[in-house]
């Protein structure tokens, strides 16, 4: 049998790319386009840096504002609690003042009533003292008329302790 020969493909040599014959104006146009693209890219890069800086500053500012708002909220809560406790204390003090005024009024009324009672009792005692003095005088005068002087003592009565009318 006959063997088959392997066919080896021949490589073709690589083609050299030939640059098209660019004229001077096309070359200058390409160079100007490259420089325009380069400047545009540089501007965009600067803009991105600026944007990223602005974004980071905005985040920092937002964080600071959040911190301040939280602080103010806490201070507001504390002030509200202080105000509430102050109002409660003021209400308690006002109630205590009203209670004290009521007690003072009651005590004044009691004092007026007792003063009036004292006046009436004083007047009654005065009248009783006058009556007693009159009786004592009558007893002394009556005893001196019926008994000789020096025999009866002023503390003794001849009626036996009963009430006598003058």
pLDDT tens digits for 109-136?
Answer: 999 999 999 999 999 999 999 999 999 9
Q: How far apart, in Å, are the Cα atoms of 58 and each of 43, 53, 93, 131?
A: 22, 8, 51, 107
What does the pLDDT read at residue 2?
Answer: 59
Between 93 and 20, whose confidence is greater? 93
CB atoms closer than 10 angstroms to residue 139: 19
Q: How far apart, in Å, are the Cα atoms of 15 and each of 8, 11, 18?
A: 20, 11, 9
Q: Give pLDDT tens digits for 61-111.
A: 999 999 999 999 999 999 999 999 998 999 999 999 999 999 999 999 999
What does the pLDDT read at residue 160?
Answer: 47
* d(C-alpha 100, C-alpha 91), whole Å: 14
- What are residue 58's phi and psi, to 5 degrees? -65, -40
Q: Are 138 and 165 in contact (CB under 8 A)?
A: no
**pLDDT above 70: residue 4:** no
What global pTM score does this model have?
0.39
What does the pLDDT read at residue 143?
Answer: 77
Q: How far apart, in Å, are the Cα atoms of 163 and each of 10, 112, 140?
A: 174, 35, 15
At residue 100's C-alpha, the angle toward residues 95 and 105, to 5°, is: 125
Structural element, H or E, at residue 55? helix 24-146
User: CB-side exposure of 147: number of CA atoms within 13 Å?
Assistant: 14
């Amino acid at each position: 049998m006959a063997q088959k020969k392997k066919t080896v493909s021949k490589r073709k040599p690589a083609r050299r790319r030939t640059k098209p014959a660019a004229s001077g104006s096309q070359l200058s146009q390409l160079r100007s386009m490259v420089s325009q693209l380069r400047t545009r890219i540089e501007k965009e890069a600067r803009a991105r840096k600026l944007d990223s800086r602005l974004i980071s500053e905005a985040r920092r500012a937002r964080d600071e504002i959040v911190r301040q708002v939280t602080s103010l909220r806490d201070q507001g809560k504390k002030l509200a609690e202080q105000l509430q406790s102050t109002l409660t204390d003021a209400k308690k003090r006002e109630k205590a003042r009203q209670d004290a005024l009521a007690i003072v009024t009651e005590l004044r009324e009691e004092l007026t009533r007792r003063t009036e009672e004292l006046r009436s009792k004083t007047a009654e005692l005065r009248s009783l003292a006058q009556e007693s003095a009159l009786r004592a005088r009558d007893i002394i005068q009556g005893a001196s008329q019926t008994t000789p002087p020096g025999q009866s003592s002023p503390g003794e009565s001849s009626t036996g302790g009963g009430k006598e009318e003058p």
